Amino acid sequence: MIWFAGGTRSVPWEVTHLHGLVVAASGVGTVNAAVADQIRVACAHNVAVVVTTRAGSGPVFPVYGGAGGSQTLDSLGVKITWLHPFEDAIVAYGIP
């Protein structure tokens, strides 16, 4: 599970060997460009990616475009949910 801070500028983790990745994004599922790049790499390597929100309540909506917008992530095939990030860890592990 990746729980990043809003000011994260680099992403020092390798995603190509993972089975699943849960990203606890901000608001309606927005991540910054560095995290979005790693999500693209993960998707290209058939890693199951789930994006959820770290907000106190509410779901992820695919409404924003841009490099790390939830609409862009949705177009990559990323699963977006309304579950808590820890619940999504279970979902990501079970996705083939």
CATH number at residue 69: 3.40.50.40
Tens digit of pLDDT for each residue in 26-47? 888 888 888 888 899 999 999 8
Position 69 in a domain: yes
How many domains does the chain fold into?
1
Residue 13 lies in a domain: no
- Note whether residue 80 is domain-resident: yes
In a domain, 2, yes or no: no
Q: Which domain holds residue 29?
A: 19-94
Instruction: Provide the β-strand partners of residue 25.
Output: 53
pLDDT at 70 over 80: yes
- The answer to the question of residue 3 being in a domain is no
Q: Which residue has the higher pLDDT, 86 or 69?
A: 69
27 in any annotated domain: yes
For the chain, the average pLDDT equals 79
- When pLDDT is cut at 50, 70 and 90, the band that residue 73 belongs to is confident
Between CA 82 and CA 96 the distance in angstroms is 20
Quick check: is 42 in a domain?
Answer: yes
In this prediction the pTM is 0.77
Angle at alpha carbon of residue 52, lines to 61 and 92, rounded to 5°: 125
* Run of H or E residues at 70: helix 70-75
